[in-house]
Amino acid sequence: MFICLKDAVKRYGEGEAAVYALDHADLVIGKGKICVILGPSGSGKSTMLNMLGGLDTLDAGELTIEGRSLIGLTPKERTLYRKEEVGFVFQFYNLIPDLTVEENIEVVSDISESPLDLSEV
Q: Tens digit of pLDDT for each residue in 1-28? A: 799 999 999 999 999 999 999 999 999 9
How far apart are alpha carbons 8 and 23 in whole angstroms? Answer: 7
Please give the backbone phi and psi of residue 78, each rounded to the nearest 5 degrees, phi first.
-65, -40
Residue type, 14: E
What is the distance between the terminal CA atoms of the chain, rounded to a whole angstrom? Answer: 29
Q: For domain 3-73, is the CATH number 3.40.50.300?
A: yes
pLDDT recorded at residue 32:
92
Mean pLDDT over residues 38-55, rounded? 91
Q: Domain locations in the chain?
A: 3-73
E strands of the chain, at which residues?
3-12, 19-29, 60-65, 68-69
Q: What is the pLDDT of residues 70-116, one digit of tens each?
A: 999 999 999 888 888 887 666 666 777 888 888 878 877 766 777 77
